Amino acid sequence: MTELPETPSQTAGPFVHIGLTPGAARTGLLDLGTAIAAEGVPGTRIRIAGTILDGTGTPLRDALVEAWHADAQGRYPPDAADGFRGWGRAACDPESGEWVFDTIKPGAVGDQAPHVALWIVARGINQGLHTRLYFEDEDNSSDPVLNLIEQPVRRDSLIARRTDEAYRLTIRLQGDGETVFFDP
Partner 1 sequence: MTFRPRDPARHPPALAPAYKTSVTRSPRLPLLSLDPGPTERTGPVFRPDDLGQMDADLLSNYGEAAPIGERILIHGRVLDGNGRPVPHTLVEVWQANASGRYRHVRDGYVGALDPDFGGCGRCLTGEDGTYAFRTVKPGAYPWRNTRNDWRPAHIHFSVFGTAFLQRLVTQCYFEGDPLIARCPIAQSIGDPVAVDALVANLDMGQTRPFDMIAYRFDIVLRGRRATWFET
- Choose between 100 and 149: whose C-beta lies nearer to partner 1: 149
Scan residues 145-184 and list those touching partner 1 (CB under 8 A). 145, 148-149, 173-175, 178-184
- Choose between 10 and 164: whose C-beta lies nearer to partner 1: 10
Residue 100, interface with partner 1 (CB under 8 A)? no
Question: What mask, x for binding partner 1 by CB under 8 A, covers residues 109 to 148?
Answer: xx-x--x-x-x-xxxxxxxxxx-x------------x--x
CB of 20 to Fe ion, least distance (A): 13
Q: What are phi and psi of 57, to 5 degrees?
A: 85, 10
* 3-class DSSP assignment, residue 44: coil
Residue 38, interface with partner 1 (CB under 8 A)? no
CA separation, residue 4 to residues 27, 44, 67, 108, 184 (Å): 34, 43, 28, 35, 19
Cβ–Cβ under 8 Å, residues 105 and 60: no
Q: What does 176 interact with, of partner 1, Fe ion, none (CB < 5 to 8 A by kind)? A: none
In 3D, which of 114, 118, 103, 104 has the Cα closest to residue 171? 118
| Alpha carbon distance 31, 23 (integer Å) | 5
Of 9-17, 41-49, 97-105, 133-141, the window that binds partner 1 (rule: CB under 8 A) is 9-17
Residues that bind Fe ion (CB under 5 A): 13
